[in-house]
Chains A and B, each alone.
Chain A
Amino acid sequence: MNGVHDMGGMHGMGPIQNEKKEPVFHEPWEGRVFAMNRAAAAWHKWNIDASRHAKELLPPADYLRMSYYEKFYAGLVELLIVSGLVTRAEIESGKGAQGSAIATPPLTAEQALVLVAKGVPASRNLQVPPRFQTGQRVRARNIHPVGHTRLPRYARGKLGVVDRDHGVFVFPDTNAHFLGEKPQHVYSVRFAARELWGEQAAPQDSVYLDLWDDYLEPA
């Protein structure tokens, strides 16, 4: 979706605030909401792409105003309700509905350590033929999906060169909407900065994006 989250190349966002000796979490609640996101994901009611999309669907003004962990909270609550794990009434009251069953958490402390150490790979060990080769000139497609996508607006329609093939990965545009993983190759594609931004960019500079087969066409 052409949302406010797709920020590459926007102006007017102000200077960068580099806080010295920044803590990992500024408040304890940030750590709790971070951890709840990971623990609740262990129900496998959603995936990382759906989780990203939930934040993208926040109203734009809220998205810009909220801190990172406020967005985590809002996205998590939304996913919990959409997936049926909790009801809106339960969120509002802070209490489980009367007579509702008590579940067994899928992620124990021990399993949390395994999750941290192993992660959740998005690659798929499948023999999917690549549509493009290293060194090939490609154009990022000029598409504007209303759903989740990882093709930023600033690269659409632009010419690049395949720098390397990363292998086969889950496709976010379908996975975020529970329409299947549609595994396909992801490539690092080099775009000259001047192709993206015109003469204002330095001639030798470039931006590399990781793009799926479905985002590219031969050029």
Chain B
Amino acid sequence: MTTTRRDFLAAAAATAGAAMTPDLNHAHQHGHEHQAVPSDPALRVKALESLLVEKGLVDRAALDTLVDAYEHKIGPRNGARVVARAWADPAYKQRLLTNADAAIAELGYGGMQGEHMLVVENTPKVHNMIVCTLCSCYPWPVLGLPPVWYKSAPYRSRSVIDPRGVLREFGLDLPADVEVRVWDSTAELRYLVLPERPAGTEHLNEEQLAALVTRDSLVGVAKVAPPQAGASA
């Protein structure tokens, strides 16, 4: 393992230097602290794409398809529909909590970075929130790609040690008697929070319910606001 790691490390140092920093030697002498942020990642990425296409390593149309899928087709509206169905249909909710993969597939969702799903239910006494302290694992099929804050050092570092403080920063002050459960996505399980259905929504249909559900509530850093409170994050 050590040899492999050394190879990795040598390549990483060489690559990070060659690709991201014009002045690797200078940076090394000073223990990296003067390495510049790449001045123009757009140009470097464009050059890499040209190279990979030229060598036949990637197909440009495949790249377009992948970007389009996550920019336009897959996002938190999917997760919102799952939650709305669970609120509207108790049998579906049971299936969702016991076999999330199959229940989510009933609505046509699933796939990359959501191959193994688990849904955790918020109640008046239990609040769940999701994090990935080691990288940025996130349930793509139901939430899309993660927002910057989810991938950021502040969220990743603090969610496990100070979840209540993090939630307060999101505007959610939980009573002391509520149990907070933090789910650190350390393996290939991906989590979705089933938020509490807000009061005053008995008359709403599934589509109207889905419109209330925000991305942040599906990660567990917010509650779903009742309709009269207006739209939120």
Q: Which residues of A contact B (CB under 8 A)?
A: 1, 5-11, 13-20, 22, 24-29, 31-36, 38-40, 43, 52-55, 57-62, 64-70, 73-74, 76-78, 80-82, 85-86, 88, 90-92, 94-96, 100, 102-105, 107-109, 111-113, 115-123, 145-147, 150-152, 154, 166, 169-170, 177-179, 186, 188, 193, 196-197, 201-202, 204-212
Chain A: which residue is nearest B180 at the CB level?
A205
A179 touches B113 (CB 8 A): no
Chain B: which residue is nearest A147 at the CB level?
B1
Which of A26, A74, A207 has most chain B Cβ within 10 Å?
Answer: A207
In the complex, which residues of chain A have a beta carbon less than 8 angstroms from the beta carbon of B51?
A: 86, 90-91, 94-96
B9 touches A57 (CB 8 A): yes
Q: Fill in one digit per residue for B40-65: 1 if any A CB lies within 8 Å of its CB, else 0.
A: 01101111111110111111011111
In the complex, which residues of chain A have a beta carbon less than 8 angstroms from the beta carbon of B153?
A: 7, 10, 13-14, 64
Contact of A22 (CB < 8 Å), options: B55, B66, B148, B166: B148
Min CB–CB distance B43 → chain A (angstroms): 8
B48 touches A53 (CB 8 A): no
A17-B65 Cα distance, complex, nearest whole Å:
30
Known: A116-B112, A211-B187. Is A19-B157 also a contact (CB below 8 A)?
Answer: no
A67-B144 Cα distance, complex, nearest whole Å:
18
In the complex, which residues of chain A have a beta carbon less than 8 angstroms from the beta carbon of B161?
A: 8-9, 154, 196-197, 201
Q: Which of B11-19, B84-92, B193-201 contacts A (4 or more CB under 8 A)?
A: B11-19
List 30 A-B residue pairs with CB atoms under 8 Å apart, sorted by A's residue number.
Answer: A7-B157, A8-B134, A9-B160, A17-B149, A18-B216, A19-B147, A26-B148, A29-B41, A34-B145, A36-B48, A59-B12, A61-B32, A62-B20, A74-B19, A81-B14, A82-B7, A86-B51, A88-B15, A90-B51, A94-B51, A102-B55, A103-B55, A105-B57, A105-B58, A123-B116, A186-B187, A188-B118, A204-B177, A206-B180, A207-B184
In the complex, which residues of chain B have a beta carbon less than 8 angstroms from the beta carbon of A6?
A: 133-134
B130-144 at interface with A (beta carbon < 8 Å)? 133-136, 141, 144
Known: A94-B47, A206-B179. Is A32-B5 also a contact (CB below 8 A)?
Answer: no
A206-B127 Cα distance, complex, nearest whole Å:
11
Known: A34-B67, A103-B57, A210-B185. Is A92-B133 also a contact (CB below 8 A)?
Answer: no
What 6 pairs between A and B have smallest CB-CB spacing? A8-B133, A210-B187, A103-B56, A35-B66, A105-B59, A122-B188
A196-B181 Cα distance, complex, nearest whole Å:
13
- Given A39-B59, A76-B48, 14 new contacts (CB under 8 A): A19-B147, A29-B41, A32-B67, A39-B62, A40-B57, A77-B19, A82-B8, A91-B51, A107-B58, A108-B62, A147-B1, A147-B5, A169-B187, A208-B184
Min CB–CB distance B36 → chain A (angstroms): 9
In the complex, which residues of chain A have a beta carbon less than 8 angstroms from the beta carbon of B18?
A: 88, 91-92
Tally of A-B residue pairs with Cβ under 8 A? 344
In the complex, which residues of chain A have a beta carbon less than 8 angstroms from the beta carbon of B50?
A: 94
In the complex, which residues of chain A have a beta carbon less than 8 angstroms from the beta carbon of B13?
A: 59
In the complex, which residues of chain A have a beta carbon less than 8 angstroms from the beta carbon of B46?
A: 29, 32
A18-B222 Cα distance, complex, nearest whole Å:
12
In the complex, which residues of chain B have a beta carbon less than 8 angstroms from the beta carbon of A82?
A: 7-8, 11
In the complex, which residues of chain A have a beta carbon less than 8 angstroms from the beta carbon of B110?
A: 117-119
Min CB–CB distance B227 → chain A (angstroms): 20
Known: A15-B154, A96-B54. Is A36-B35 also a contact (CB below 8 A)?
Answer: no
Chain B: which residue is nearest A63 at the CB level?
B153
Q: Is B114's beta carbon under 8 Å from chain A?
A: yes
B144 touches A24 (CB 8 A): yes
Chain B: which residue is nearest A88 at the CB level?
B18
In the complex, which residues of chain B have a beta carbon less than 8 angstroms from the beta carbon of A67?
A: 148
In the complex, which residues of chain B have a beta carbon less than 8 angstroms from the beta carbon of A65?
A: 35, 37
A147-B4 Cα distance, complex, nearest whole Å:
9
Contact of A73 (CB < 8 Å), options: B41, B113, B115, B181: B41
In the complex, which residues of chain B have a beta carbon less than 8 angstroms from the beta carbon of A78?
A: 8, 11-12, 15-16
A186-B110 Cα distance, complex, nearest whole Å:
21
A81 touches B15 (CB 8 A): yes
